[in-house]
Copies of this chain bind each other. A is one copy, B any other.
Amino acid sequence: MQKPTLPKGTRDFGPVQMAKRNFILDTIKETFRLFGYEQLETPAMENLSTLTGKYGDEGDQLLFKILNSGDFLKKVTPQDIQEGASATLSKVAEKGLRYDLTVPFARYVVMNRHELTFPFKRFQIQPVWRADRPQKGRYREFYQCDADVIGTDSLLCEAEIILMIRRVFEKLGIQDYSIKLNNRKVLTGIAEVIGEAGKEGPLCVAIDKLDKIGREKVEEELLERGFGPAAIQKLAPLFESSAENISEVLTFLEDFLQASEIGLQGIKELQEMLQLLNSLGANQEHLVLDFLLARGLSYYTGAIFEVKAHGVQIGSVSGGGRYDDLTGVFGMPNMSGVGFSFGVDRIYDVMEELGLFPDQTLTGSQVLLAHFDGKAYGYALGVLSKFRAQGIRAEVYPDLTKMKKQLDYASKKGIPFVAICGDDEIKNETIAFKNLETGEQESMKVEDAINRLI
């Protein structure tokens, strides 16, 4: 007899995990909706022509491809086999699994450009699949949770992203975290100022590793990537700056970037965003201006965000930024947008580590009806319906069995109350209402038990 297993890198989510995940996702959805974002869902499968070439060579390798249905070999020759997998791929697979939510979003916008009203604000919460090597905290199937606005370059979108992040974290009870901000134009300006104009790409890639490998290794990498020693020397003030609060950092940057028009433009955008935040009646709590923040993604053209939770092993739990041309690759140029993503798995781990999940995430039954015999079972069914009629999640143990087994069932499932039914209860039209946590048991009318649970 075969023993079933899960494909590596995938997970089941049982009842307890689902309740906790839903607590996070419901909080995020409610926040997105409060800010006027509407939900989109796209298919798990996309044409490979939609997906390939969008995530770099490595990304193409990590796409899960779906074998054509029917006789998938019909176009394949023995010679193809000798030439190898890449020659054969296009003949056996036309579709792949979604790798992220951004490319399907761009595809949706382009296909529905004539029906959509711009600016278009959408959120999307769906799994994505990557054929990565599985390891702790890295899965082959995981949820992404994205919100994007497309069709406007208003910096209000950036300001509202900050508000949404703060609202979600407040509702989840995560208090100790930073929202790091930067602007790609600041990074471009830095490249100009150090005399390596146009090389902010490799500059970002190297600087992005600062937290992990330290300044010295970053400088080594920059040398390897062809940056001159003079340029690297000119970066020094950035590594050494002691500016802390936002206005100090802005002052420092204005000085450092004075020779770069685009750099100063980046500063202006940051200032305008902060001004909009002020108009919205919000302060600068949790905000950190991190002018070395680059994030790996090279398509950001304006704001860059990253959220870090403090006091936990896990670092970045959310991130995003502005891109000027998301849909150009599908033939619809000049659509500026800004988006960000909550890392649901990581937020889950942070909340677990900090013990932040409230008891109310429980979505299982609130009360179990237990019974001593067939007659009591019949009585319990009537009581059950009264609980449910008031919206109380309730169930009856469905078989005639020992009371201990019924209490064990409630206890193992985390059902907090048991309403025990026997001859006395039938006679007095009551229930014996037992709190499993304290062990207390009290005889009462069903209506009184209902009032305690509502």
Q: Which of B5, B49, B65, B110 contacts A67, CB < 8 Å?
A: B65
Residue picked from A64, A71, A74, A77, most chain B C-beta under 10 Å: A64
CB-defined contacts of A74 to chain B, threshold 8 Å = 85
A93 at interface by CB-CB < 8 Å: yes
> Which residues of A from 1 to 35 have beta carbons under 8 Å from B?
1-7, 10-15, 18-19, 22, 33-35
How many angstroms between the C-alpha atoms of A62 and B70 in the bound complex?
Answer: 8
CB-defined contacts of A19 to chain B, threshold 8 Å = 38-39
How many angstroms between the C-alpha atoms of A279 and B13 in the bound complex?
Answer: 35
CB-defined contacts of A398 to chain B, threshold 8 Å = 119, 149, 152, 154, 156-157
Please determine whether B117 and A412 come into contact, CB atoms closer than 8 angstroms.
yes
Q: Which of B67, B280, B392 contacts A385, CB < 8 Å?
A: B280
CB-defined contacts of A385 to chain B, threshold 8 Å = 280-282
Instruction: In the complex, identify which listed stretch (A40-48, A178-186, A242-250) lies at the interface while the others stay far away.
Output: A40-48
Please determine whether B85 and A77 come into contact, CB atoms closer than 8 angstroms.
no
A205 at interface by CB-CB < 8 Å: no
Please determine whether A15 and B84 come into contact, CB atoms closer than 8 angstroms.
no
How many angstroms between the C-alpha atoms of A393 and B36 in the bound complex?
Answer: 6
How many angstroms between the C-alpha atoms of A361 and B126 in the bound complex?
Answer: 21
Please determine whether B66 and A36 come into contact, CB atoms closer than 8 angstroms.
no
How many angstroms between the C-alpha atoms of A129 and B44 in the bound complex?
Answer: 9
Q: Which of B13, B39, B92, B280 contacts A384, CB < 8 Å?
A: B280
CB-defined contacts of A18 to chain B, threshold 8 Å = 38-41
A45-B129 CB under 8 A given contacts A4-B330, A40-B18, A66-B65: yes
* A165-207 to B contact mask, C-beta < 8 Å, 1/0: 0000000000000000000000000000000000000000000
Q: Residue on B with the closest CB to A5?
A: B47
Give A contacts to B, CB under 8 Å.
1-7, 10-15, 18-19, 22, 33-36, 38-47, 49-50, 61-62, 64-67, 69-74, 76-78, 80-82, 84-85, 88-89, 92-95, 97, 107-108, 110-112, 117, 119, 121-122, 127, 129, 131, 140-141, 149, 152, 154, 156-157, 276, 279-282, 330-331, 363-365, 378, 381-382, 384-385, 388, 391-396, 398-399, 409, 412-413
